[in-house]
Amino acid sequence: MTTAILEQPETLQAENATDNTTSSDAAKSGCFNDFNISSSLKGRLTAAGFVTPTPVQAKAIPPALGGSDILATASTGTGKTLSFLVPIIERLEATSAPSTKGKRNPIRALILLPTRELAMQVLEAYWKLMPGAKHDAVLVCGGISENTQLDQLDRGPRLVVATPGRLEDFLRRREISINAVEMFVLDEVDRMLDMGFLPAIRRIVTAIPKQRQTMCYSATLDANIQEIVRDYVRNPVRVEIGSTSKPSDRVELRVYSVMQDQKLGLLDQMLNEEQGTFLVFARTKHGADRICRKLEKLGHDADVIHGDRSQSQRTAALKGFANGKHRVLVATDVAARGIDVQDIAHVVNYDLPNASEDFVHRIGRTGRAGAKGVATTFVMPQERHEARKLERELKIKFDWREADKNLEKELRNQPLDITAPGTDILQLETRAWRSAPTAAATSNGNNNGNGQRRRRGFSGGRGPGGHQGHSGGQNSGAGNRSRGRSGGRSGAARRGQ
């Protein structure tokens, strides 16, 4: 059974760690008790099972505790989350107390991440170390009730964990104030830029004080990313753990040359012959759904996660995969950054990734915490050139294999055989006509009792400047609160945050 955790402590060797900036004391830290943190926090770390810091934690936490900016590159699964949570918690506890009904605190720490799954996992890690402060940290992201998030912000949390889109929307509508932020974290910077969040990040940064501590984390740090983040950090301590531009040496890299219609048969064969969990990557959301359905028909326990799935569906899929209910999880690249599940045995690239960075991020889901893993890529004959290009760019060597030519072929887009026994063309046509009213009823499913289509989003319509109130475009719940309208609450009314 696999275990879903967020950056649990790993006993990794630091021989391949390179960093000329961090202090020798940081590199020598043998356990969390060696850090200059309160005895209370040390006790909670121990109780949560965090004993030995990973290389990135050992190098980043000491300078961060001293107030230095951090610019760190490390591959996934190396423990980045604790490396910024520990300094944040230590400062919050040393300089302030959680809000009460009589005294509301401003937001003092802000953590920005690309996906809501990652944001939720960071928040869970914070609560694990701060069990008595459930209202002291708030999640701000799309796909979850907006009114609930606004109500939680009213309570005066000291920490906000957010995705750029929803946070920018709240800022535009003056629903949140971040002008007292002292600690700012940008996690998975490279992925946020890939997802087009740069304009939102820039607007968010202008709303927080210039005098602050900033910690930036990225799996890769090319010239473009360096140029962007240098505007956000001041004389940062540079932390670099291993090589972040190539796969981990703990992952066995296999490539199967296979025809498109035999990919499903090959995956079925692997599932029947090999042990462990499988994380399967598809290029499109439609393809991910199709693969999941076909695997279930073949008798495998599978679920799917992609951008069109609701938050509850994505959470349930991750939970089911983590606790062993589902052996297979089919995912797209956009959703991949929210997958943080321990002990994934196999990663399968059902479709070749579009870029080498995507390849590195995909297979980074296996071979974590010092364990070994297997990454298999399906390559069609016409894609061999692209796979060879991956080898050259990443300076890796694939174990090339040929798929069994006798694998069962997947039947896709088969023409209808009208000569087959029992085929009634008139019945098929009648069935098609009968489905039309059902489709019409579905399209009108959002109508209200008066037969008029309900406006999506807030009952108050559009916010200032004609901006749609709800960034997710969905009705926020039964409360029908009219936030986001020009007559809504002003920024002055929310300064108590």
- Tell me, what's the pLDDT at 454? 41
In CATH terms, are 17-241 and 251-402 the same topology?
yes
Specify the CATH superfamily of domain 17-241: P-loop containing nucleotide triphosphate hydrolases (3.40.50.300)
For 62-79, b where at least 16 C-beta lie within 10 A, e where not — what string? bbbbeebbbbbbbbbbbb
DSSP string spanning 413-473? Answer: SPPP-TTSTT--HHHHHHHHHHHHHHHHHHHTTTB-TTSPBPPSS-TT-B-GGG-BS-TT-
Q: Where are the domains of the chain?
A: 17-241, 251-402
Determine the Cα–Cα distance for residues 296 and 267; give it in Å rounded to an integer. Answer: 12
The token pair at 32 is 């969390």
Residue whose tokens read 């076909």:
294
What average pLDDT does the structure give for the chain?
A: 78
pLDDT in tens, 249-282: 788 999 999 999 999 999 999 999 999 999 999 9
Give the closest residue to 59 by CA, choosing from 231, 217, 212: 217
Helix (H, G, I), strand (E, B) or coil at 302: strand
Determine the Cα–Cα distance for residues 203 and 268; give it in Å rounded to an integer. Answer: 47
Half-sphere exposure of 26 (CA within 13 A, CB side): 24
- Tell me, what's the pLDDT at 132? 81
pLDDT in tens, 121-172: 899 999 999 988 878 999 999 888 899 999 999 999 999 999 999 999 999 9
Please give the C-alpha separations between residue 318 and each of 118, 313, 370, in angstroms, as whole numbers: 12, 9, 22
Per-run averaged pLDDT (10 residues), the chain, 497 residues: 36 33 45 91 92 91 95 78 95 88 88 90 92 88 90 93 95 95 92 84 94 90 74 89 67 94 95 94 93 95 88 85 92 70 88 84 75 91 92 89 92 64 59 46 46 40 43 42 42 40
State in words which class domain 251-402 has: alpha beta
Share of the chain above pLDDT 90, in %: 45
- Tell me, what's the pLDDT at 443? 45
pTM of the predicted model as reported, rounded to 2 decimal places: 0.59
Residues in Cβ contact with 489 at an 8 Å cutoff, skipping those fewer than 6 apart: 174, 175, 483
- Tell me, what's the pLDDT at 76? 64
pLDDT in tens, 440-471: 444 444 444 444 444 334 434 444 444 444 44
Cα torsion at 65, 68, 74, 77 (round to 10°)?
20
Q: What is the CA radius of gyration of the chain?
A: 25
- Tell me, what's the pLDDT at 362? 85
